[in-house]
Structure 1
Amino acid sequence: MVSIADVARLAGVSATTVSHAISGKRKVSGVVREKVHHAMRELNYVPTRAAQNLALGRTGIIALVVPDIAIEYFAELAKNVEAVAVARGYNVMIATTGFDAEREASYLEMMASRAVDGIVFASGAVLRSRTRTALTHGLPIVLVDEEVAGVELCTIVSDNEEGGRLVAEHLIGLGHRSVLEIQGASAPVTSVRRSEGFAAVWAAHGGVIRTETGDYSAESGRQAAERHLASFASSEITAIFAHNDLMALGAIDGLRSQRIRTPRDVSVVGFDDVSPGRYSFPQLTTVRQDVRSLGTQAAAALLDALESGDDLTIDRTVIPVELVVRGSTKAVRS
């Protein structure tokens, strides 16, 4: 089988130069390009992506690191990253970390050894110094969905602060002034920004906030709500804002088990707009993230850098969100 090395030998140039001449992604002189194409014709060589990747020291693979692919939000993110990558001739390796910082760090260190060409990274755990070192050493990395404090990288996130504001304005408009906010455990930046946006509006109207934390699972939302059943039953708390839909749905289930009804007794708002919330009863009021744009823009930014050979631009792209009002919220009973 004729290889790219055979073409390079006949043309009297390096294999990398052959790859540049074939792909057109690097400038080569007309003379050199003609030598390469003449050698290809002589040897009946048909270039493949694998051959080009080998010549350039690449794998043709990018990695996507997410907390849990079983969570629909991250499955949708993965689908959109993969769609862009495959359309541009790349394969995607998906690594799930289970919200565990040690697993995150281990995956990043393995990938930094050139097991992949670049990484789309959706962090789910509190970053340790080991993880920060891996993030800033070696491979091109795009952060998506979650920001990393103190690390300057290309970052693509939703407007989480605006999402929090939208929730607060909606509940305030319905007459609510007391809320249980179920935040993300270990205070990831996304959760902090949602809280900041929510609190700014809520405080301006004299509202009272109680807080709990959850691990983004439905069960953690249920447990958080159950710790305040007496306050819900007495209408001391009339609303819940959960930082993702699964925790919101878990909270609704926990209330229902104690015959506290949503939205008649307690209004509930989530964040993400995953399909279980659209088909629950009542349907869930939530903040819709544009997960398609998050995934496609993150993948495109990484692949553009890989194909151009340029460094990734260090910036922060913010994707708009919108409030979707459904049946889980209503005005406070007078």
Structure 2
Amino acid sequence: MINCSFLQMKHQDKPAEENVTELMGFVLLGFADVPLLQSFLFALFLVIYIITLVSNGIILLVTKLDPALHTPMYFFLGNFSFLEICYVSVTLPRMLMNLWTQRRMISLVSCATQMYFILMLGATECFLLAVMAYDRYMAVCNPLHYPLVMNHKVCVQLVFGSWISGIPIQIGQTCQIFSLRFCGSHLINHFFCDIPPILSLACGDTFLNEMMVYIVAVLFVMVPFLLILISYTKIISTILKLPSATSRAKAFSTCSSHLTVVALFYGSGIISYLRSKTSHSAGTGKVLSLFYTIVTPMFNPMIYSLRNKDVTMALRKLLWK
């Protein structure tokens, strides 16, 4: 899918020792620094993967099967659950294979493909969270116009736009990073092909590449985040003006789950990609990456189902049937 010039192995004039990375790919160290915990980590991440697939799959299923959940809010939630299944499947299967086999080699093409899908799905999640915040804004602040504005056609267009918006730029960014020369170590101190550890292995000056990472991060992370903040500022302002305490509690309950997911995903993602280079450390990077690639997708269905009466009732009906 990613047809970049680096796949053609251009640098034929370099010495053989400088071509090792281009010919053989990288080695994902992952959790090699804790050899006694390999079996435990494999079992832990396998359980997390199964829980994530099953829980998000159930949310996707109930939003499709239950007529009571055929509303814009749950249409977006179903798409969000499908996105989380895709997101976690980009990183966890490779990590599980590395833990089980202890064969940590990953080819250049596989590494680039994994990075592209992580970036593309991450951008999609940012935009989809912003769309879900806009949906809540319309429902709370403009309830009379909500059915007209958020009709099914508009919802499909918003979801489709969220999925495709990051594709061309993320392809370009992936190709730009993997067109660099990697003449030093080919050991990636991470459990997947992320931008910071890959750039740390590149030869020469990577300032331009780092600036492009910051620009793309601002475009695809900070802009949707600001839209979410604006939406919820207006939502909270409207809720506080409601005369009934019951109405305020109900309005807050419909938004609290989404706010919790936003805090988990954006908190770890922003710190990971927008922190200064001097603060980078492999251990911190791994922990932050675990949050937005693995932990958040696992907890999202629990957050939405446990705090949402409609989803809970739909789950009960499904289990009863």
Give the TM-score of the pair, scaled to structure 1: 0.23
Higher relative contact order (CA 8 A, sep 6+): 2
Greater helix content: 2
Give the TM-score of the pair, scaled to structure 2: 0.24
Greater strand content: 1
